[in-house]
Amino acid sequence: LPQIKAQTASEYVPDTKFYKVEAILRPWRIPKVSAALLKMGIRGVTVSDVRGFGAQGGSAERHAGSEFSEDKFVAKVKIEIVVSKDQVDPIIDLIIEEAKTGEIGDGKIFVLPVSDIIRVRTGERGEEAERMSGGRHDMSNQN
Ligand code: ATP
Ligand code: GLN
């Protein structure tokens, strides 16, 4: 099986403790992606229905061999996951593995630095707020 490895992001991204991995994906691939995230111990995820355009067109207007769409947006799902630094690359690899078809329109992943996390219920901040019960942190503590 070919290993799909994303290039390391660290050299392009400001160094911080937490990052948001934001992926715009094909809606019908979301069940596969979320099942795999759950399996790796990711418990905090936000999903939204969005519409957009990239290289994949809705209405086809051609410029220099590429299709661009100006008036028809394609339905996508945006998945947002805030995690600690060491979880960023495994999540990127997982998303590629579960969401890639190889066709135009597979989507894109953005990595953003996150300054702080606050859990509303308790007022916890930083690492304590980032940890989710049943998450990877819990999993590794049980060994
Ligand atoms: P509590 O222990 O108080 O329940 P929690 O950390 O489990 O806190 P929730 O209050 O259950 O968080 O989360 C509310 C919503 O926030 C979730 O439904 C999800 O949309 C979003 N969310 C929580 N954590 C994350 C995260 N790490 N990344 C992305 N979205 C998150
Ligand atoms: N890093 C957290 C943990 O290991 C999980 C974060 C998340 O689910 N988004 O508990």
DSSP state of 27: G
Between the CA of 30 and the centroid of ligand 1 the distance, in Å, is: 18
Of 31, 45, 142, 50, the closest CA to residue 87 belongs to 45
Half-sphere exposure of 87 (CA within 13 A, CB side): 21
Q: What is the pTM of this model?
A: 0.86
Q: What is the predicted pLDDT for the residue at 125?
A: 98
- Cα–Cα dist 21/109, whole Å: 7
- The answer to whether 95 and 25 are in contact (CB under 8 A) is yes
Can you tell me the ipTM of this complex? Answer: 0.95
Task: Tell which atom from ligand 1 comes closest to the C-alpha of 83.
Answer: 27
Question: Is 114's C-beta closer than 6 angstroms to any atom of ligand 2?
Answer: no
Give the pLDDT of the chain (143 residues) as one tens digit per residue.
Answer: 445 555 555 555 678 999 999 999 999 999 999 999 999 999 999 999 999 987 766 555 555 666 554 567 899 999 999 999 999 999 999 999 999 999 999 999 999 999 999 999 999 999 999 999 988 778 887 64
Best of 122, 132, 133, 138 for a ligand 1 pocket test (most atoms within 8 Å of beta carbon)? 132
Q: What is the predicted pLDDT for the residue at 111?
A: 95
